[in-house]
A = this chain, B = another copy of it.
Amino acid sequence: MQIALLGGTGDIGEGLALRLAYDTPHEVVVGSRKAEKAETKAEEYETELSSRGLDVTIGHGENPDAAAGADVVVLSVPAYHLADTVDSVADRLDRDAVLVSPAVGMKRDDAGLHYNPPGAGSVTQLAAQSAPADVPVVGAFHNLAAGRLANLDAELGWDVPVVGDDADAVSLIADVAAGIEGLRPLRAGGLENAAEVESLTALLINLAANNEGLHDLGVRFT
């Protein structure tokens, strides 16, 4: 499959690009608002993969060009860019494309980080509201620590809660997640259950901030 990572130059995009290219047979395309930035990062990822003996081509382009033709389009952009990003690619999406939303809205104050959902209830639901009516949206990859994800030497051992209202789309994205070594996809319900998944990200960051020796945390349900 072809997987486009919009905002694939950012930290979570980088980790997903490297892991997908390294662990799976999928074709990875990095999108950005600026074509040049996408090209620079794609070359960087290729160099990193090549240093590990994997010679692979990472596609690149402006977000709408990256999205065109992709089977899976991951919105790896900050939550406040999400609706704009969906709008910018909407008329270029493949008719069978699945959108994936990994973004989380958070705010920081003196007490730490807090989950800060948009009016839609969750960022994943905001993505679904923004998407064309016939394009399914799946929430996944919210709880991955970007630094560890992007370090191919690091073992993960993490669970990936997946939410969505379209069962086929959820299965497809669960399969994509399962293709990455050390990730186990788990069904967490429909889009209305996304808030609890996104909220967990703030907890992970608070736990890392308050416990010596813990950093780049993910989660395992057991």
Residues of A within 8 A of B (CB): 109, 111-115, 157-158, 161, 186-190, 192-193, 195-197, 199-200, 202-204, 206-207, 209-211, 214, 217-222
Contact = CB atoms under 8 A, between A and B. Distances in A.
A188 B207 contact: yes
A204 B202 CA distance: 16
Number of chain copies forming the complex: 2
A62 to B, nearest CB: 36
Contacts of A190: 111-112
Contacts of A199: 115, 195-196, 199-200, 203
Given A161-B207, A187-B210, A206-B189, A114 B219 contact: no
B186 A114 contact: no
Contacts of A109: 192
Contacts of A214: 186, 221
Given A157-B222, A222-B157, A222-B158, A206 B196 contact: yes
A125 to B, nearest CB: 11
A21 B130 CA distance: 53
